[in-house]
Structures are given as structure tokens and as C-alpha cells.
Amino acid sequence: MIYGIGIDLVKIERMKDVVNRWGNKFLERVFTETEISYCYSKKEPYLSLAVRFAAKEALIKAMGSEIPVSLTDIEVINAVSGKPDIKVSGRLEGFFIEKEIRQVSLSVSHEKDYGIACVVLER
């Protein structure tokens, strides 16, 4: 049974502007060390940062914004196959247990100017 669905769109240039303005202060508040390392290993790190940010926002929307969430408690990871996935920790992990959320499905995409993510939470 579907618990919630969320979607978010991020302009890649906006992500670049925010990172250039706030630097590590922003990055460390929003992304895990693993995410930062992964994104900066890419030719276009802002594209990867934008889709990860969109995924985090989409997850919060799918939850219905029921509890305050630290964005670093949401980590976008890649399976060996390259498929994106979400790993949760902290308060969010407890929320998933309480609400019996058993499956998180994530789809991300991007084109020249935008990154988008869709999350489906299932019980």
C-alpha cells in the first residue's frame, strides 16, 4: 500500500549559486560526506547535488512533512547497478519504523537546466 508520493524539481544553476555563495557550510548542512564525495567525483557536481537535493525534498513531501527532518538523515546512494536509492537514519529511521514504511522507491532525472526526483513510500 502506498503511504505517500513526493516530487521535487531543482534548477541546477541555482544549486551552483548556493554552493558558491555558502560553500562547505551549506554542503555539510544538507549532504552527507559520502554524497559530497560522490558528487565532486563527477564532471558536473552541481547536477548530482541538485538531483540529490530534489530527492531529499521529494522524500519529505512523500512523508507529508509529519516530523522535522535533518537533510543529512536522508542519504541518496547508488546500488552497484547504478540505480539510485535512499538510506535513512536518525529520527527519520524511527518514523519509518513507526509508520511501517518498508519500501522507498526513488527515480531521478536531469537535463540541461533541471534535476528532478520522485519518491514513493510503501507500507
Domain boundaries defined on the chain:
2-122
- Average pLDDT of the segment spanning 89-113: 95
Catalytic, 25? Answer: no
Sign, Cα dihedral of 15, 16, 20, 21: negative
Catalytic, 83? Answer: no
- Average pLDDT of the segment spanning 92-99: 95
By DSSP bridging, strand 74-78 and strand 2-11 are: unpaired
pLDDT at 42: 94
* Active-site residue, from 61, 87, 99, 112: 61
Whole-prediction pTM: 0.95
pLDDT at 105: 97
> Tell me: the pLDDT tens digits for 32-79?
999 999 999 999 999 999 999 999 999 999 999 778 999 999 999 998
In CATH, the number for domain 2-122 is: 3.90.470.20
Cell of 100: 511501517
**Residue 104 · residue 2 · CB < 8 Å:** no
* Active-site residue, from 16, 87, 99, 110: 110
- What value does the mean pLDDT of the chain take? 96
All residues at 6 or more sequence positions from 119 whose CB lies less than 8 Å from its CB, including other chains: 5, 6, 7, 55, 58, 59, 61, 62, 86, 104, 105, 106
